[in-house]
Amino acid sequence: MDCNPRSLFFILLLLLSCVTPAFPVIYPPNEVNLLDSKASQGELGWISYPSHGWEEISGVDEHYTPIRTFQVCNVMEYSQNNWLRTNWIPRQSAQKIYVELKFTLRDCNSIPLVLGTCKETFNLLYLETDDDQGSHFREHQFSKIDTIAADESFTQTDLGDRILKLNTEVREVGPLTKKGFYLAFQDVGACVALVSVRVYFKKCPYTVRNLATFPDTVPMDSHSLVEVKGLCVNHSKEEEPPRMYCSTEGEWLVPIGKCLCNPGYEERSNTCQMCRAGFYKSALGNLECSKCPPHSFSHHEGSLHCGCEKNFFRAEGDPASMACTRPPSAPRNVISSINETSVILDWSWPEDTGGRRDVTFTVLCKRCRGVTANGSNSGTQRCEPCRSNVRFLPRAAGLHNTTVTVGDLLAHTNYTFEIEALNGVSALAPKMRQYAAVTITTNQAAPSPVTVIRKEKTSRNSVSLSWQEPERPNGIILDYEIKYYEKEEQETSYTILRARGCNVTLNGLKSNTAYLLQIRARTAAGYGASSPTFQFETSPDSFSISSESSQVVLIAISAAVAIILLTVLLYVLIGRFCCRSKSKHPDEKRLHFGNGHLRLPGIRTYVDPHTYEDPSQAVHEFAKELDASCIAIDKVVGAGEFGEVCSGRLKLPSKKEICVAIKTLKGGYTDKQRRDFLAEASIMGQFDHPNIIRLEGVVTRSKPVMIVTEYMENGSLDSFLRKHDAQFTGIQLVGMLRGIASGMKYLSDMGYVHRDLAARNILVNSNLVCKVSDFGLSRVLEDDPEAAYTTRGGKIPIRWTAPEAIAYRKFTSASDAWSYGIVLWEVMSYGERPYWEMSNQDVIKAVDEGYRLPPPMDCPATLYQLMLDCWQKERNNRPKFEQIVSILDKLIRNPGSLKITANTTSRPANLLLDRSSSEVPSMGTMGDWMDGMRTLPCKEAFSGVSYSSCDTLAKTSTEDLKKVGVTIVGPQKKIVSSLKALDSHTKNGPVPV
Ligand code: ACK
């Protein structure tokens, strides 16, 4: 082996390439190279002095890339001074540079026989100049940067080989001021190989922070930081001026401020990019673009907001993130409860609120003519806005609740109310707005009181007065009643006068006397309330009339008497003539045929068609004959007693087509069947009420024989309720019940007893208006004395019929009231079958023994009380329909009262309500209740104890009962629970009937 240190060194140098890790060199981004010896493929051309010193050698690096290296190894000779100088290196913008040297160095111990001559360091020097001085070179001009020693030169391996280690040393030089510089390496006798020389300076590289760009920045030489202002990236705006500091180490420090992406743009990889189609961004900021909300779209990129789909809108003030919305659909299930000249309208929320919560309701009132009393359109209809003095409670527009009371309407007048649901976008889509309409006819109402009375002239014995017509006459004023009396006499004796006009002269008064007077108006509906008391005084005696004027008065009086006598004579004569010449009007016949009821004059009376000798005459008296060609049958909706029931349309000449129900008489009928079939039309045709099914007419002159009535979209009430179990509010149910009661009041006022009032015989229209129908059965029951006691064919409504009507056919309006109680129960239990599956015989027996149906689930206590009242055994104690209507009206006006529920009872195990709880609320006295309890021993026991009030009695405990000798467990419990019921009853107070 060659022992020359030089050749040994080169062998070691070759070894070096094996130990150097084989990674491509990547410099940090904040280092800018001014010189990299490795990058040079050809000769570097550095100056070596003396020429036998440093030697340039070609080699390959670890990647086999050719590199240039410099070596020197004159270790055997003394006084070495070998220089190697780089080419001129332009400084560029650097103030401080870094010199990175990679070299190998042999330690002298590893070379034999060099003691004293061998060195283990070399010097690094530099020289600043403004230009390239070519080969001109002077040692003394150079300044020393440092002496470079190897950190590690050789390392012993396990095998005893020595391998050369690569050293890396970095030195800083600065500040530099001239345009360029040279580096020099001075060897003083070492064995060194310069593998690479890299000269670089540091900078803060171009960067984007917080959406601001910061350019390449060269740091200062000193330790201070360089402040750099950032520029917002495209499509962004400064929120706070962006800044950063560049450190001497070429690092960006302390970012301050930021930029935000413009509307329509979002931040994506340090840039602001347009929102994609289907997305939007309406505000400046670095949030992501949002997806278009429901019912909106954006077809283009960069959208600030999304447009609404067709028929959807955005109200002013709706945020861009809100879905587009539309006007609500019409309110549903409008029901009206008429009370004289006011009406309560109640409706359900629209099915579709348009996607908004700001729904309010507006009620438009129209007064319509050309509408029949029961609400049907008789053809042409003329409507005008209601008078401004119609009162809406709480108001007509902007209603948040689904009810309004409309007052001060005209009596006996047709009104249409259009109820519209509005929301924030209704104004933007006038064509899409929908409303629900309900037509009503107000009842008759008495006139309001006279409020303004004036004294026109006073004398000793007389006074002339005038007054203003009442503000709401509610009809034609027939006359005024004037009641007056001496103030001193305190109404013990008074005089009553009637006047047709608005003035009167009271004669025959005492002079110098104070009188009190009240006036009230009368219309067909009766007297209105009296005016406030009006006081006047006659003149004192000293006030005398001259003889001349008394003569004038006398003449005037005589003339007046003569005129009155003449008028009376004429009136009698004309009256007689008229009576004789008038055709016989059905109303007159009604007086003649009246069924024994005492009717008030002016109120029509029902005429039983069977009282006509020829019943077909009755049909034509009360029902209009229709031409069959005007009727189109659409489909069969059910089966009636005499044939099918169909739905169809009726188009009368010059009238609008309307939907109708058509009852047909099936072929092969007997004469009697035809008569019975048409009898229903004769009865129905006499009625004209919004809660009684309206007869449109009959077809008798062609076949099939038909009865045509108004069409009720929701069919019969029992099946309707079963279909909509638990879907109505209490007030809606009460509204329906009120309608039925109002129809029944009308029938009982007419003297008509229905006999088959049941939910199956009530029809419901699309506005939830309930109408009484089926006027056929009364006759069936009447004709068939056995019928009430049989169960054949379900014709006998045992469960609905009052005990006295079952027992001895005592059918009256009071027995209809019993049936009404059952209907009330059916309605509140959503169409449950009364007495469930008990047999008719058991029902008769149970009712007779005093059992009553229990309250339906969640049934308001007041309504259950009303049922119990209707089921009073003594028929005279049952409420009249007028009272029922008024109770229900009170409930509607005060819906809070519906919240107190009766003892909620699901179907009891033995199907019967324990009779104490059914009887307690309706009994009159303590004794009645005792009788009701049928606990004789208890009654006797109680009779020995004094209870001051029901209250104390209610506090009675089982213990108390034991004390008075009631020891059997059953009666004890019954008594205690009944006492509790009685207590709550007396506390809540009975319903005024
Ligand atoms: O419950 P529904 O559908 O309503 O079935 C019965 C069937 O005919 C037999 O009476 C229906 N119906 C009777 N009169 C009318 C009417 N005026 N409008 C609509 N349906 C009616 C009833």
More confident residue, 179 or 579: 179
Pair of tokens at residue 141: 């001009």
Q: How far does residue 830's CA lie from ligand 1's centre (Å)?
A: 18
- The answer, yes or no, to whether residue 201 has pLDDT greater than 90, is yes
pLDDT 10s digits, 364-423: 999 887 644 444 545 567 888 998 889 999 999 999 999 999 998 887 788 999 999 999
* Ligand 1 pocket mutation, candidates 712, 713, 774, 795, criterion most atoms within 8 A of CB: 712
Q: What is the pLDDT of residues 694-739, one digit of tens each?
A: 999 999 999 899 999 999 999 999 999 999 999 998 989 999 999 9
* 716 CA from centroid of ligand 1 (Å): 6
**pLDDT the model gives residue 921:** 36
Closest by Cα among 989, 724, 731, 717 to 860: 731
Atom of ligand 1 minimally distant from the CA of 719 = 1
Read off the amino acid at residue 526.
G
- Name the pLDDT band for 951 (thresholds 50, 70, 90): very low
Q: What is the DSSP string of 345-399?
A: EEEEPPS--TT-S--EEEEEEEEEEEE-TTS-EEEEEEEEEPPTT-EEES-SSSB
Cα distance between residue 766 and residue 335, in whole Å: 10
Query: Tokens 């009339």 appear where?
Result: 545
Assess contact for 762 and 816: CB atoms under 8 A.
Answer: no
Ligand 1, atom 21: closest residue by C-alpha: 715
Within 10 A of 855 (CB to CB), how many other CB atoms are there? Answer: 25
Mean pLDDT value across residues 467-488: 87
**Tokens describing residue 712:** 């009720």
> Which residue's CA is minimally distant from atom 5 of ligand 1?
638
Distance CA 70, CA 54 (A): 6
Contacts of 49 (CB under 8 A, 6+ apart): 82, 83, 84, 85, 137
877 touches 926 (CB < 8 A): no
pLDDT at 557: 62
If one residue of 374, 634, 637, 692 were mutated to test the ligand 1 pocket, choosing by the most ligand atoms within 8 A of its CB, it would be 637
CA-to-CA dists, residue 24 to 35, 65, 66, angstroms: 18, 10, 14
The residue contributing the CA closest to ligand 1 atom 19 is: 712
Q: For 311-339, what is the mean pLDDT?
A: 93
Which pLDDT does position 570 carry in this prediction? 67
Residue 718 CA: nearest ligand 1 atom is 1
Predicted confidence band at 220 (pLDDT cuts at 50, 70, 90)? confident
Is the pLDDT confidence value at 909 over 60? no
Segment 42-83, tens digit of pLDDT:
788 899 999 889 998 887 776 777 788 899 998 888 889 999
Answer whether residue 841 shows pLDDT above 70. Answer: yes
> Best of 707, 763, 773 to mutate for ligand 1, by most ligand atoms within 8 A of CB?
763
CA 336 vs CA 421, 889, 896: distances in Å: 17, 11, 19
Q: Which atom of ligand 1 is nearest to the CA of 711?
A: 18
CA distances from 480 to 16, 178, 451, 452, 468 (A): 135, 126, 13, 14, 11
How far apart are the CA of 638 and the centre of ligand 1, in A?
A: 6
CA 586–ligand 1 middle distance (angstroms): 30
The residue nearest atom 9 of ligand 1, judged by CA position, is: 638
Work out which ligand 1 atom sits closest to the CA atom of 637: 8
The residue whose CA has the least distance to atom 7 of ligand 1 is 638
**Ligand 1 center to residue 442 CA distance, Å?**
27
- Residue 52 is predicted with a pLDDT of 86
In the predicted model, is pLDDT for residue 933 greater than 80?
no
- The whole-number average pLDDT for the span 147-162 is 65
**pLDDT score at 396:** 95
Q: Which atom of ligand 1 approaches the CA of 760 most closely?
A: 1
How far is the CA of 113 from the CAs of 4, 109, 110, 896, in angstroms? 11, 9, 10, 121
Residue 190 Cα, ligand 1 centroid: separation in angstroms?
Answer: 123
CB atoms within 10 A of CB 468: 11
Residue 831 has pLDDT above 90, yes or no: yes
| Among 139, 109, 105, residue whose Cα is nearest residue 121 | 105
The pLDDT value recorded for residue 574 is 52
Q: Which residues line ligand 1 (CB under 6 A)?
A: 637-640, 645, 661, 693, 709, 711-712, 715-716, 719, 763
Cβ pair 732, 768 in contact under 8 A: yes
DSSP 897-956: GGGSBP----S-TTSS--HHHHHGGG--SHHHHHHHHT-HHHHHHHHTS---SHHHHHT-
Q: What is the pLDDT of residue 676?
A: 87
Average pLDDT on 766-787 reads: 66
Atom 6 of ligand 1, residue of closest alpha carbon:
638
Ligand 1 centre and the CA of 769: distance in Å?
14
Q: Tell which one of 645, 710, 718 to mutate to probe ligand 1, the residue whose CB is within 8 A of the most ligand atoms.
A: 645
The rounded distance, in Å, linking the Cα atoms of 791 and 806 is: 12
Q: Which atom of ligand 1 is nearest to the CA of 638?
A: 7
CA-nearest residue, atom 3 of ligand 1: 715
Q: Do β-strands 770-772 and 762-764 pair in parallel, antiparallel, or remain unpaired?
A: antiparallel
CA of 934 to the centre of ligand 1 (A): 45
Half-sphere exposure of 239 (CA within 13 A, CB side): 13
- Under the banding of pLDDT at 50, 70 and 90, the label for residue 558 is low
Going by alpha carbons, the residue nearest to atom 20 of ligand 1 is 715
Return all residues near 77 (Cβ < 8 A) that are at least 6 apart. Answer: 117, 189
Query: Would you say residue 267 has pLDDT above 90?
Result: yes
Active-site residue 749, yes or no? no
**d(C-alpha 720, C-alpha 735), whole Å:** 15
Residue 513 scores a pLDDT above 90 = yes
Give CA–CA dist 585/746, Å, rounded.
21
**Which atom of ligand 1 lies at the shortest distance from residue 716's CA?**
1
Hey, whose CA ends up nearest to atom 4 of ligand 1?
A: 715
Angle at alpha carbon of residue 287, lines to 282 and 288, rounded to 5°:
85
The span from the CA of 631 to the CA of 304, in Å, is 60
Picking from 158-162, 560-564, 876-880, which range would have the lowest pLDDT averaged per residue? 158-162
Range with the poorest average pLDDT among 109-113, 491-495, 947-951: 947-951
Range with the lowest mean pLDDT among 6-15, 74-83, 114-123? 6-15
pLDDT number for residue 286: 85
Specify the ligand 1 atom closest to the Cα of 773: 14
Q: Is the pLDDT of residue 245 over 50?
A: yes
Q: Could you give the residue ranges of the DSSP H alpha helices within 750-812?
A: 777-783, 803-808
Q: Is the pLDDT of residue 520 over 80?
A: yes
Q: Provide the CB-side half-sphere exposure for 344 (13 A, CA).
A: 21
- CA 811 to ligand 1 center in whole angstroms: 26
Percent of the chain with pLDDT over 90: 51
User: Which atom of ligand 1 lies at the shortest distance from residue 720's CA?
Assistant: 1
Residue tagged active-site, from 61, 608, 749, 756: 756
Q: pTM above the 0.85 mark? A: no
Atom number, ligand 1, closest to the C-alpha of residue 693? 17
DSSP letter (8 states) at residue 290: E
Question: Per DSSP, which regions of 640-732 are E strands?
Answer: 644-650, 658-664, 695-699, 706-710
Q: Of all residues in the chain, what percent carry a pLDDT higher than 70? A: 77
Tens-digit pLDDT profile for residues 843-858:
999 999 999 999 999 9
Helix/strand/coil percentages in the chain, nearest 5: 25, 30, 45
Q: Measure 705 CA to ligand 1 centroid, in angstroms.
A: 18
687: nearest Cα among 669, 709, 667, 719: 709
pLDDT of residue 972: 33
pLDDT surpassing 60 at residue 637: yes
Q: How far is CA 674 from CA 669, 677, 702, 778, in A?
A: 6, 5, 13, 16
Measuring CA to CA, which residue among 365, 371, 454, 361 is closest to residue 410? 365
Amino acid at 210: N
Note whether 828 and 856 are within 8 A (CB): yes
Find the 127 Cα to ligand 1 centroid distance in Å. 117
CA distance 228 to 945: 105
Residues 419, 363: contact at Cβ < 8 Å?
yes
Which range among 75-79, 441-445, 831-835 has the greatest average pLDDT?
A: 831-835
DSSP label of 962: H
Average pLDDT over residues 685-689: 92
- Contact 164/154 with Cβ under 8 angstroms? yes
Mean pLDDT of 344-364: 94
Question: Ligand 1 pocket check: which of 691, 693, 696, 716 to mutate, most ligand atoms within 8 Å of Cβ?
Answer: 716
- How many angstroms is it from 103 CA to the middle of ligand 1? 111
- Please give the torsion angle defined by the CA atoms of residues 57, 58, 64 and 65, in that order, rounded to the nearest 10 degrees: 120
Q: What is the mean pLDDT of residues 921-930?
A: 32
Is residue 581 pLDDT above 50, yes or no?
Answer: no
Helix (H, G, I), strand (E, B) or coil at 880: coil
How far does residue 699's CA lie from ligand 1's centre (Å)? Answer: 19
| Nearest CA residue ID for atom 8, ligand 1 | 638
The answer to whether 399 and 421 are in contact (CB under 8 A) is no
Lowest mean pLDDT among 120-129, 486-495, 735-744: 486-495
Q: Residue 293 phi/psi, 5° resolution?
A: -65, 165
Q: Which helix (H) or strand (E) holds 579?
A: helix 547-581
For the chain, give the mean pLDDT: 80
Cα 919 from chain centre: 43
* CA-proximal residue: ligand 1, atom 14 (nearest): 661
